[in-house]
Structure 1
Amino acid sequence: MDRVKLLWSKTNRWHRVILILLIVELRLLPSRQLGFYCNDPALSHPFTGDTISWKWLLATVVFLPLVVLLIVERVYNKDDAGRSKEQALCWYKEYMYGVLINLMVVQLLKILVGEPRPDFFDTCNPQEAGTCTGSEYVSSYTCLKTHWLSQSDKSFPSGHTSLALHTGFFIAYYLHQRTKRLVRSRAILCAQVLSIVSAVYCAISRITDHRHHWWDVLAGAALGVPILFYTVASLCKNFDCPNPGKEESSHEKPGTATVTVCDT
């Protein structure tokens, strides 16, 4: 036990979150499996695919904020490209840490709850569904479609919703904070609206695709809010992270936003 404590003390926050996420993803923790009622219409929807796939979602979550941060910091701090890049990467690092926390919590809850998806009968094809009758409750089952074994009972909460809202509202609020002392252009306002609308669209698509129940989407949104607040308010210091070792230039050009590099 002392050795474990010693090893743990030598890790940083990134190591710990990634370690827990790996434990969850490798299914090293005991998982729960909720049963189902025979012929439950809520679980009888056909699988029609994902409007927004996991690959597309993760690509957006990982790369879009980085592009936005680099562009905005460069535009509003034209005199010091190196420093604007440093600031953008600083906030991006904190954003990604928040994403890892979000993903870790979502995946952990999926394992602990084990709720069947709305397309459960189609994607799992449980062996027991062929013999049960009426409104009989089946407490344990075996999926005949083995390639869906690890996904058909991971409905709660919606990871798409949680990550999409985390990213969309992060970008919208970042643009608000970094440009609030300037005259906002239509491009900025459009980018904010597009970020939020896209996140909401992703959440709604999880219901219309019958990949999640409505309460799964609501739970995903509820999880994303406090994690996003922690990311913005605590990790990114509300996008105002002064480093005592770096003084701001006293000769700023009019219309140039103040850039302060956070202390990492």
Structure 2
Amino acid sequence: MDKIKLLWSKTNRWHRAFFIFAVVELRVFPGGQLGFQCNDPALSHPFTGDTISWKLLLVTTVFLPLAVMLTVERIYHHDKTIRHKQAMCWFKEYLFGVLINLVIVQSLKLIVGSPRPHFFDTCSPKEALTCQESEYVSSYTCTKGNWGNQSDKSFPSGHTSLAVHTGLFLAYYLHRRTTCPNTRRIIIIQILCVATAVLCSVSRMTDHRHHWWDVLAGAVIAAPVLLWTIYSLCGDFQCSSSNKESPAEAPTSIDAGVAEVPLLSKET
């Protein structure tokens, strides 16, 4: 036990979050399993693929905010060293928020074990062959091995949670870090960020990959994680100061000037 405590004390927040994520993904502990009603039409949709794949979503979630933040800081900051440090500092905190979002979503998927709308098509539970009418089956075994670990991962929607997190993060970042946040160009970009998040969320239902309540839950989960990321981790996008200025003295926007921006460690 002492060795475990010593090892844990030498880890930081990233190590701990990745460890929990790995435990969940590897199913070190058995997950939950909600049953199904025989011939349930809500679980009888065919699997047709994803309009927005996981690979596209993850690439967008990681690289688009980095590109936007570096571009904005480059345009509105004159000190190259400061603008790069500030953008990378906020990007690092944004990524940690994304990781926490993933940990929460994947943990809930494992705990709940909710069948997807294409459950019968991709799981083909052998119990469905013998159940009668609307009989409830509490325990089942998938006969399609490749889909055995995904057919019961419906709740909540990870696509929705990440899309909402990224889209709203970028929209608010542009509002805070541009000198003229109400210009037509900035407003159009913000609308595109939010619209893309909505499109991704809706596609999860039209693709029959999630139920509507899964999508709603994904958005609800994203909201508090996003607020924590913006206000706690990123400090509401206010430039940091090495001498810890008082709120009245600290710059509140890029029009007020750029303070020295150290890469403050938030490791715990």
How far 1:241 sits from its partner (Å)? 3.8
Q: Please give the alpha-carbon distance, in whole angstroms, between the structure 2 residues aligned to 1:113 and 1:190.
A: 39
Aligned to 2:248: none
Q: How does 1:83-98 map to 2 (within 5 A)?
A: 83-98=82-97
Q: Please give the alpha-carbon distance, in whole angstroms, between the structure 2 residues aligned to 1:48 and 1:183.
A: 41
Contact 1:87-1:259 at 8 Å conserved across structures: no
Is the aligned partner of 1:169 residue 2:168? yes
How far 1:183 sits from its partner (Å)? 6.1
How far 1:259 sits from its partner (Å)? 3.4
**Aligned to 2:70, what secondary structure does the other structure show?**
helix
Aligned to 1:47: 47
Change in 2 beyond 3 A, CA 1:187/1:26? same
Contact 1:178-1:257 at 8 Å conserved across structures: no
Among candidates 207, 212, 223, match of residue 214 of structure 1: 212
Q: How does 1:1-264 map to 2 (within 5 A)?
A: 1-77=1-77, 79-179=78-178, 181-182=179-180, 184-245=182-243, 258-260=257-259, 261=261, 263-264=264-265
State the Cα deviation string for residues 162-215 of structure 1 (Å, max 9, x = none). Answer: 000000000000000112x43643221111000001001111111111111111
Contact 1:36-1:138 at 8 Å conserved across structures: yes
How far 1:131 sits from its partner (Å)? 1.1
Change in 2 beyond 3 A, CA 1:183/1:8? closer
Q: Please give the alpha-carbon distance, in whole angstroms, between the structure 1 residues aligned to 2:206 and 2:32.
A: 26
Contact 1:117-1:155 at 8 Å conserved across structures: yes
Amino acid of the residue matched to residue 228 of structure 1?
L
Q: Please give the alpha-carbon distance, in whole angstroms, between the structure 1 residues aligned to 2:228 and 2:213.
A: 23
Change in 2 beyond 3 A, CA 1:121/1:259? farther
Aligned to 2:251: none
How far 1:125 sits from its partner (Å)? 1.0
State the Cα deviation string for residues 77-106 of structure 1 (Å, max 9, x = none). Answer: 1x2222211111000000000000000000
Deviates more, 1:205-214 or 1:98-107: 205-214
How far 1:4 sits from its partner (Å)? 1.2
Uncovered stretches (5+) of structure 1, i.e. residues with no partner = 248-254
Contact 1:76-1:257 at 8 Å conserved across structures: no
Contact 2:24-2:106 at 8 Å conserved across structures: yes
Amino acid of the residue matched to residue 153 of structure 1?
D
Deviates more, 1:163-172 or 1:130-139: 130-139
Root mean square deviation, CA, Å: 1.6
Q: Please give the alpha-carbon distance, in whole angstroms, between the structure 2 residues aligned to 1:157 and 1:119.
A: 15
Change in 2 beyond 3 A, CA 1:129/1:256? same
Q: Please give the alpha-carbon distance, in whole angstroms, between the structure 1 residues aligned to 2:256 and 2:131.
A: 66
Amino acid of the residue matched to residue 10 of structure 2?
K
How far 1:144 sits from its partner (Å)? 1.3
TM-score (norm 1): 0.92
Change in 2 beyond 3 A, CA 1:125/1:231? same
How far 1:6 sits from its partner (Å)? 1.5
Amino acid of the residue matched to residue 141 of structure 2?
T
State the Cα deviation string for residues 199-256 of structure 1 (Å, max 9, x = none). Answer: 0111111111111111111110110000000000000000014122599xxxxxxx95
Amino acid of the residue matched to residue 242 of structure 2?
P
Change in 2 beyond 3 A, CA 1:188/1:47? same
Q: Percent identity?
A: 63
Aligned to 1:251: none
Aligned to 2:249: none
Q: Please give the alpha-carbon distance, in whole angstroms, between the structure 2 residues aligned to 1:75 and 1:241.
A: 15
Amino acid of the residue matched to residue 138 of structure 1?
V
Contact 2:160-2:201 at 8 Å conserved across structures: yes
Q: Please give the alpha-carbon distance, in whole angstroms, between the structure 1 residues aligned to 2:239 and 2:124.
A: 52
